[in-house]
Amino acid sequence: MKLPSAVLFLPVLSLACIATCSAQQTAMLANAPLPTVASDAQPEEAFSSSAMGGVYPVRAPQAEEKKPGLHILDWSMLGAAATLRALDYTSTEKALTEPQYYHEAELPNGLVKNKPAFAAFEAGTVAVNYEAYRFLVRHNRRSLARAAQFVYVGAMTFQIAHNYQTLGQTPPVQ
């Protein structure tokens, strides 16, 4: 296989440019004027132009502190969790219309059969999930919050898929 001449020429050209640029910078530094030394006498104003004598203080740039906020991935995971909670509510309500085929295994039937209480439970779960996520992000534990949210969304997705899959089937006759 024959390489194009440009492929061989570009590395040589880049090395030549680097050598030329470093030689020019060294020459510029050698010819640069030395900074003037401020006199020992201090005028009344500490930062006036005559006080500095041509020498200006260099201040380190201050890094702006970023407030820990939620990013697009965080909002999408929280939205997925809220959507899964809504789907859990609808699948459970659908299952209650056919009680002979379905039995709630995780929540007490008194809570599940009371629609306002069950809706409040689902909404409260979404609110607690959101606040716990924000708490972890606020305390610089974003990776822990995301990992926990991934596990939560995965477990809820499995449970919702199982609920909807069981709704369409009739149980085996015993």
- pLDDT at res. 5: 47
Q: Note whether residue 116 is domain-resident.
A: yes
CA 6 to chain centre: 42
pTM: 0.58
Separation between Cα atoms, residue 16 and residue 13, nearest integer Å: 5
Q: Would you state the structure tokens that stand for residue 9, as one six-digit string? A: 């020429």
Reported as a single tens digit per residue, the pLDDT across 91-100 is 888 888 877 7
Q: Give the CA-trace dihedral at 140, 141, 145, 150, to 10 degrees.
A: 120
What confidence tier does 87 reach under pLDDT thresholds 50, 70, 90? Answer: very high
Q: Note whether residue 172 is domain-resident.
A: no
Q: Note whether residue 65 is domain-resident.
A: no
Q: Note whether residue 90 is domain-resident.
A: yes
Q: Note whether residue 32 is domain-resident.
A: no
3-class DSSP assignment, residue 15: helix
Q: What integer is the mean pLDDT of 160-166? A: 85
Q: Describe the crossing of helices 115-138 and 72-97 by its angle, rounded to 10 degrees.
A: 160
Q: Note whether residue 62 is domain-resident.
A: no
- pLDDT at res. 8: 45
Q: What integer is the mean pLDDT of 69-73? A: 88
Q: Note whether residue 157 is domain-resident.
A: yes
As for how many domains the chain has, the answer is: 1
Domain that holds residue 110: 76-167
What confidence tier does 162 reach under pLDDT thresholds 50, 70, 90? Answer: confident
**If you write DSSP's letter for every residue of 98-147 in order, what string do you get?**
STTT---SSS-HHHHH-HHHHHHHHHHHHHHHHHHHHHHHHTT-HHHHHH
- pLDDT at res. 52: 52
- pLDDT at res. 6: 44
Q: Note whether residue 11 is domain-resident.
A: no
User: Beta-strand (E) ranges in the chain?
Assistant: none
If you average pLDDT over every residue of the chain, what do you get?
76
- pLDDT at res. 68: 67
